């Protein structure tokens, strides 16, 4: 009996020790959200400081997201005035970013043409028909591309600065419009933003495409993987695809929706934070070394295109920033979103 009692005590001690170790490991395995402190000025400052450290000197544009965002949309007249000022800025020249990727956008908002062996995939369609004709069609012709080869128009999210020219291009060239189901539904029911400055949203036709997370869009020799990265809208698409520079292959991601322009919506901010973390794993797993945006202010595309025009044909491509830098950019966006979430949570 003494032997049995001693074994029982030993087993109890071992069980207690194992439980303590398990509890410690479980605490270490908690996600940042689970370990999160109550929102305060201190947590906001900590997230901003983390974003600033991570941004360094090369990712400064992303720190604009750490500024306080408005809790509600501005009045319609103010919104229209601000949009008109952005749209009226002179457009930059179109440019070739990679062997198979071309910029055909405006000053404020971007459109990208991916050349494949069987036609062109256009990512976003600017504000309206006039811009689609002048900047997308006109820009493609200046770059030696034929707009009649546009087979798909991928709309990254359902805001008019990205879908505005899509109906015109779809009708003229019988291009198929691609959007997430969430944003198709949003544009067909209740628009988040509505202004006469933008063209009407596309009407979903029989040939158009509704995509879900992870779907692939293939045209000729090119495949885009379409990730749903909710936050900016709940159906924002961030495509990942291959580009080449002087024949050398790189992996690119176009982050589909950046700003926090959806008011005091904590679930949307949590979705955004989750999307940055999830896509960080994709970036590292696929060695994504190019980060693009649909707004030039975020990816410095105009500066980089200007640099490409000045350098030798076989020089280093400034759009290739490396996988660590792409990962850092996602972390900056995530930290800024956490700072904004904590600001709203304190209100």
What CATH number does residue 65 fall under? 3.60.15.10
What's the predicted TM-score (pTM) here? 0.89
Has residue 215 been placed in a domain? Answer: yes
Q: Mean per-residue pLDDT for 207-211?
A: 97
Q: Are residues 300 and 306 in contact, defined by beta-carbon separation less than 8 angstroms?
A: no
Has residue 223 been placed in a domain? Answer: yes
Has residue 281 been placed in a domain? Answer: yes
pLDDT tens for 126-170 read 999 999 999 999 999 999 999 999 999 999 999 999 999 999 999
pLDDT tens for 225-254 read 999 999 999 999 999 999 999 999 999 999
Query: How many structural domains comprise the chain?
Result: 1
> Which has the closest alpha carbon to 179: 168, 200, 163?
163
Find the angle CA(228)-CA(107)-CA(192) to the nearest 5 degrees. 40
For the CA atoms of 230, 236, 242, 246, the dihedral, rounded to the nearest 10 degrees, stands at -120
Sign of torsion, CA 129 131 133 137? negative
pLDDT tens for 273-332 read 999 999 999 999 999 999 999 999 999 999 999 999 998 778 899 999 999 999 999 999
Has residue 22 been placed in a domain? Answer: no
Indicate the burial class of 149 (C-beta count within 10 angstroms; 0-12, 13-18, 19 or more). Answer: middle
Has residue 7 been placed in a domain? Answer: no
- Residues of the domain holding 202: 41-346
pLDDT mean across residues, the chain:
91
Has residue 19 been placed in a domain? Answer: no
Has residue 150 been placed in a domain? Answer: yes
Has residue 312 been placed in a domain? Answer: yes
């Amino acid at each position: 009996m003494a032997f049995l009692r001693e074994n029982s005590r030993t087993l109890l001690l071992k069980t207690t020790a194992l439980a303590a170790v398990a509890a410690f490991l479980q605490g270490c395995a908690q996600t940042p959200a689970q370990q999160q402190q109550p929102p305060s000025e201190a947590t906001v400052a900590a997230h901003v400081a983390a974003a600033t450290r991570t941004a360094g000197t090369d990712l400064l544009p992303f720190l604009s997201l750490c500024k306080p965002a408005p809790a509600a949309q501005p009045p319609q007249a103010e919104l229209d005035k601000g949009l008109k000022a952005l749209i009226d800025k002179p457009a930059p020249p179109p440019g070739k970013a990679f062997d198979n990727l071309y910029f055909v956008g405006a000053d404020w908002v971007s459109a990208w043409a991916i050349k494949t062996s069987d036609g062109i995939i256009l990512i976003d369609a600017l504000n309206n028909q006039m811009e689609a004709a002048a900047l997308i069609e006109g820009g493609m012709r200046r770059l030696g591309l034929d707009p009649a080869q546009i087979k798909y128009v991928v709309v990254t999210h359902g805001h008019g600065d990205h879908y505005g020219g899509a109906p015109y291009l779809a009708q003229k060239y019988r291009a198929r419009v691609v959007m997430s189901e969430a944003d198709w539904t949003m544009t067909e029911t209740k628009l988040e933003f509505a202004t006469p400055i933008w063209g009407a949203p596309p009407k979903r036709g029989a040939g158009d495409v509704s995509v879900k997370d992870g779907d692939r869009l293939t045209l000729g020799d090119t495949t885009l993987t379409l990730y749903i990265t909710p936050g900016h809208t709940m159906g924002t698409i961030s495509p990942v695809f291959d580009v080449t520079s002087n024949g050398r292959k790189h992996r690119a991601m176009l982050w589909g929706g950046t700003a926090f322009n959806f008011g005091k919506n904590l679930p949307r901010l949590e979705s955004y934070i989750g999307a940055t973390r999830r896509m960080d794993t994709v970036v590292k797993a696929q060695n994504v070394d190019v980060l693009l945006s649909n707004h030039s202010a975020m990816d410095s595309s105009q500066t980089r295109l200007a640099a490409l025009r000045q350098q030798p044909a076989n020089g280093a491509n400034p759009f290739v920033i490396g996988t660590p830098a792409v990962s850092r950019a996602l972390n900056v966006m995530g930290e800024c979103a956490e700072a904004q979430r904590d600001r709203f949570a304190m209100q």
